[in-house]
Structure 1
Amino acid sequence: MRSQVRRQQVRTQKLGSVKKRRPCPETAAAAPAAAFRLLETYANLAKKGEHLLGNLLDGTPPRQWAHYPEADAIDQSGGYQWFYHSHSPADREVTSEHGHIHLFARKPLWGRRLRLGSEGAFAMLCGNPQENPETRHLVGLGFDAKGIPISLFTVNSWVTGDLMLGADLTLELLQSINLNTGHADIDTVIESVVRLCAPELQELLRRRDEVLRRHQGPDKLFDQSLELLSEVHIDLDKKLATVAIM
């Protein structure tokens, strides 16, 4: 199980159903550049003999359940934030995951857009929650022990202590992401993976909404029997082999 990973009160530092769609031309055009940046990042790390998460973890094994960084990595200009953590072996199914990143969007990115019809429909699907958190969980990225992304996943709202956004707005925020948290290599990997994996993200959110649609009851977002909503495993080697890197 992915047990609760955030306090119910999210930090407040300043700053419908999913229709399967073809990637827009802008998304398709971004894939080669994203592939190049991803390969360049790992090549530079290998040249220096460094691990992607080495600086974040200060060169030590991660403490289970701890947030890295402790107060989250805050994107001061773009309005995103993330943290990395790992679970205890007893709390994980058999998996090659070493840990994962939870990625969030802060209110300036979506506050006024909750009035969109698609967001109203998604709120209805979720049981019209009355909470008003400062962040919305966008996606989780699972990593193996080598620091390579191996999965994308979504979790129920009780896990992260905030809420979610509809699929269209979530995909838009992911595809336009431009992180500047002070953790340049990790920021680049997050940006590159979400741009490379646009089709997988569409499928991930389709599955998420289907699970929410099937689950009855007004408190589905806080039903602790409903934790992992959707997950898609990714093979970046195969993905990169299909992209004509510029």
Structure 2
Amino acid sequence: MRSQVRCPALMAPASGRRPRAPVGGTDADAAGQRLLETYAALAARGEHLLHGLLAGKPPRQWQHYPENDAIDRVSGYQWFYHSHSPEDRSGASEHGHFHLFACRPLWAGRLRSGAEKAFAALTGDPQVSVTTRHLLGMGMSAKGVPTSLFTVNSWVTGDLMLSAAGTERLLARMRLDTGHASIDAVLESVVALCAGEIHEVMAARDATLSSRPVHGVLADRNLELLSEMVIAL
């Protein structure tokens, strides 16, 4: 897997569900095999990964797909897909991207941990009541293949973030059953395969945040993309 980090600071299981394999030895092979099987099944049906999500129509810029997010109310994870206008993502080659979130029950009890207190201090100790925390963004090509992993500032998604360690822990445990089986499988598999890359993306995110004044950093409209890594599966 080839990868490249881009970040401003550095450049200047639910019961009965199919378990997702963590990275390591044959476990990584299992995640890769699941990814291949998912795309092979789509090809056999003559379907694009996003066919059902977009109802076979071109995506409308900025619209959430699905409209009220894809939510797994058992596991507590959710996601949505959308695309920006070309003017907003100058030079970007992606078709659109997924945003992954964790709902409150997954992280509420962790906020008093040392890691979360330290991260809150890094971001100005925000006192905002939110129901989700943003975990990760995943860019997609027009062919429906993941091409990048990235993080964004809190004003972009309207919620907050968690510490790097907390985010990685939640992603490692992520299970999805949102009614969009192929997409759920791709998101789970890529997260499993890219644990090392995710670690780097989170470190780059925190480096970007620490390079800015603490006060107001999460609302800084000049700071949108915190870190990004190009991946080639």
TM (norm. structure 2) is 0.89
Three-state SS of the structure 2 residue aligned to 1:91 is coil
Name the counterpart of 2:229: 232
Looking at structure 2, the residues matched to 26 and 47 of structure 1 have their Cα atoms a distance apart, in angstroms, of 27
Q: CA deviation at 1:204?
A: 0.1
What are the superposed Cα offsets for residues 184-218 of structure 1, whole Å, 9 maximum, x if unpaired?
00000000000100110000000000001010141
In the alignment, structure 1 residue 117 sits paired with structure 2 residue 110? no
Q: Is the 8 A contact 1:27 1:175 kept in 2?
A: no
Matched, 1:130 2:127: yes
SS in 2 for 1:191: helix
Would the alpha carbon gap of residues 51 and 86 (structure 1) be closer, same or farther in structure 2, given more than 3 Å must change? same
Structure 1 unaligned blocks of 5 or more: 1-24, 237-246
Separation in structure 2 between the aligned mates of residue 91 and residue 201 of structure 1, nearest angstrom:
24
Equivalence for 2:168:
171
The answer to whether the 8 Å contact 2:22/2:192 transfers is no
The answer to whether the 8 Å contact 2:61/2:82 transfers is: yes
Note the C-alpha offset of 1:95: 2.2
Whether 2:40 is the aligned partner of 1:43: answer: yes
Q: Does 1:218 align with 2:215?
A: yes
Unpaired runs of at least 5, structure 2: 1-20
Offset at residue 33 of structure 1 (A): 1.2
How far apart are 1:26 and its partner, in Å? 5.2
SS in 1 for 2:23: helix
Q: Which amino acid aligns with 1:52?
A: L
Partner AA of 2:39 in structure 1: Y
Answer whether contact 1:97 1:144 (CA < 8 A) is retained. yes
Letter in 2 for 1:119: E
Q: 1:26 to 1:195 in 2, by over 3 A?
A: closer
2:135–2:167 Cα contact (<8 Å) kept: yes
Which residue does 1:12 correspond to in 2?
A: none
What is the number of equivalent residue pairs in this alignment? Answer: 212
- Give the match for residue 99 of structure 1: 96
Partner of 2:145: 148
Asked if residue 27 in structure 1 is aligned to residue 49 in structure 2, the reply is: no
TM-score normalised to structure 1 length: 0.84
Post-superposition CA distance 1:43-93 (Å, at most 9, x none)? 000111100000000000001110000000001110011000001111112
Identity value in percent: 61
Q: What amino acid is aligned across from residue 215 of structure 1 in structure 2?
A: R
Q: Which amino acid in the other structure matches residue 227 of structure 1?
A: E
Higher strand share: 2
Structure 1 CA distance for aligned equivalents of residues 224 and 89 of structure 2: 13
